[in-house]
């Protein structure tokens, strides 16, 4: 009996739970490990992720699903238990990143298009067999002088739609992630420019999803928040929440069961504050939660530092961030709860 896509998507959005993005490529996790002077070996990557996945309270009460990298999907914990089984035992759904990265787009200087459609149907069948029930594909849109171009938006949007259709055919819920970068160069755009580009991108994506016959009830949207460029940050928490909700209401059909934000260059606490403000202050047609990588992991990574004796400290840091974000997904996070920790 195959699970319905709608049921998987609903479970991913249930009770303020959110998604842990643990799908860093080998190159990206190396950069993260460099910050704590740890050599990135398969064993180190396994130990780090095992620390997170075995944080029982966080996994059971806060995390509805985990986005894995292919290596991690097939990896086993130190005692031989497959990671997929550890996640399922905690009630968390295994997911998989399926794109092969944003590559420079021919004829479009400064812009990228995400690759990975070739052979994707076969890969999805294998991932489903390995236990994955949702997938993720990220399209990257840069804001700069004269960018983005329509050509770049359209190419990324159509790739997202084709990916989503292939996922649903395979019984896998697609997370559709069009990210308008806050930290692309020169990252000095205003929040209004971000709102304008985000609206343009989301309108295009939903048109292409419709044309590709993607069932909106069986997908999750993973967008950026509407926020000013990293080198121009002035917008208040309230302004980010207000402008993000306005753009989403103008572009995202209410049939979509949930929106799980990426943190995209925000600090851990900023990402939490913005999410909470949206859930507390607005009447919304869909659930809003988190799908954070760095904003859930950074404190845990630093507390662990690659040392076995610091695993408990790393797990405490991860649990704290997971709890804060689940409160934010219910609109009840407060700044003083951060200090209490």
Q: In this predicted model, what pLDDT tens digit does every residue of 182-210 receive, in sequence order?
A: 999 999 999 999 999 999 999 999 999 99
> CB-based contacts of 59: which residues, under 8 Å, 6+ apart?
53, 87, 90, 91, 92
- Choice among 70, 177, 199, 242 that is catalytic: 177
Range of the domain at 290: 5-340
**pLDDT > 80? residue 262:** yes
Pairing of strands 93-97, 287-292: unpaired
| pLDDT value of position 340 | 72
| pLDDT value of position 300 | 98
Q: Is there a catalytic annotation at residue 222?
A: yes
CATH of the domain at 14: 3.20.20.70
Mean pLDDT confidence for 81-85: 98
Length of the chain: 341
Mean pLDDT confidence for 114-135: 98
Mean pLDDT confidence for 45-68: 98
- For the entire predicted model, the pTM comes to 0.98
**pLDDT > 90? residue 341:** no
Pairing of strands 287-292, 18-22: parallel
- Choice among 136, 222, 230, 243 that is catalytic: 222
| pLDDT value of position 53 | 98
Sorting pLDDT into bands at 50, 70 and 90, what band is 272? very high
Axis-axis angle for helices 237-251, 191-211 (nearest 10): 30
| pLDDT value of position 1 | 64
Q: Is there a catalytic annotation at residue 307?
A: no
| pLDDT value of position 2 | 74
Mean pLDDT confidence for 213-237: 98
**β-bridge mates for residue 177, sequence order:** 138
Give the chain's domain count: 1
What is the 3-class SS of the chain, one letter each residue? CCCCHHHHHHHHCHHHCEEEEECCCHHHHHHHHHCCCCCCCHHHHHHHHHHHHCCHHHHHHCEEEEEECHHHHCCECCCCCEHHHHHHHCCCEEEEECCCCEEECCCCCCCEEECCCCCHHHHHHHHHHCCCCEEEEEEEECCECCECCHHHHHHHHHHHHHHHHHHHHCCCEEEEEEEECCCCCCCCCCHHHHHHHHHHHHHHHHHHHHHCCCCHHHCEECCCCCCCCHHHCCCCHHHHHHHHHHHHHHHCCCCCCEEEECCCCCCHHHHHHHHHHHHHHCCCCCEEEEEECHHHHHHHHHHHCCCHHHHHHHHHHHHHHHHHHHHHHCCCCCHHHHHHC
| 64-73, 82-91, 332-341: least confidently modelled range | 332-341
């Amino acid at each position: 009996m195959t699970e319905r896509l709608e049921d998987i998507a609903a479970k991913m959005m249930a009770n303020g739970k959110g998604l842990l993005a643990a799908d860093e490529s080998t190159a990206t996790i190396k950069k993260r490990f460099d910050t704590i002077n740890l050599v990135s070996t398969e064993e180190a990557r396994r130990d780090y992720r095992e620390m997170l996945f075995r944080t029982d309270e966080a996994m059971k009460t806060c995390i509805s699903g985990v986005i894995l990298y292919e290596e991690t999907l097939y990896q086993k914990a130190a005692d031989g238990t497959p990671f997929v089984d550890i996640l399922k035992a905690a009630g968390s759904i295994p997911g998989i990143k399926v794109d092969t990265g944003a590559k420079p787009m021919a004829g479009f200087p400064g812009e990228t298009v995400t690759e990975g459609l070739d052979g994707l149907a076969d890969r999805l069948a294998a991932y489903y067999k390995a236990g994955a029930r949702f997938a993720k594909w990220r399209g990257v849109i840069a804001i700069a002088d004269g960018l983005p171009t329509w050509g770049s938006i359209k190419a990324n949007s159509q790739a997202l739609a084709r990916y989503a259709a292939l996922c649903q055919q395979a019984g896998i819920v697609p997370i559709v992630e069009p990210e308008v970068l806050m930290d692309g160069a020169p990252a000095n755009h205003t929040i209004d420019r971000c709102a304008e580009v985000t609206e343009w991108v989301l309108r295009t994506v939903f048109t292409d999803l419709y044309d590709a016959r993607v069932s909106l009830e069986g997908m999750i949207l993973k967008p950026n928040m509407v926020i000013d460029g990293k080198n121009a940050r002035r917008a208040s928490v309230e302004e980010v929440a207000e402008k993000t909700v306005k753009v989403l209401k103008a572009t995202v059909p209410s049939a979509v069961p949930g929106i799980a934000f990426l943190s995209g260059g925000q600090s851990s606490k900023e990402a939490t504050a913005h999410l909470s403000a949206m859930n507390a202050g607005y009447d919304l047609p869909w659930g809003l939660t988190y799908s954070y990588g760095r904003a859930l992991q950074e404190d845990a990574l630093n507390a662990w530092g690659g040392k076995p004796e610091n695993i408990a400290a790393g797990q405490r840091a991860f649990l704290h961030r997971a709890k804060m974000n689940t409160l934010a997904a219910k609109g009840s996070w407060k700044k003083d709860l951060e200090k209490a920790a």
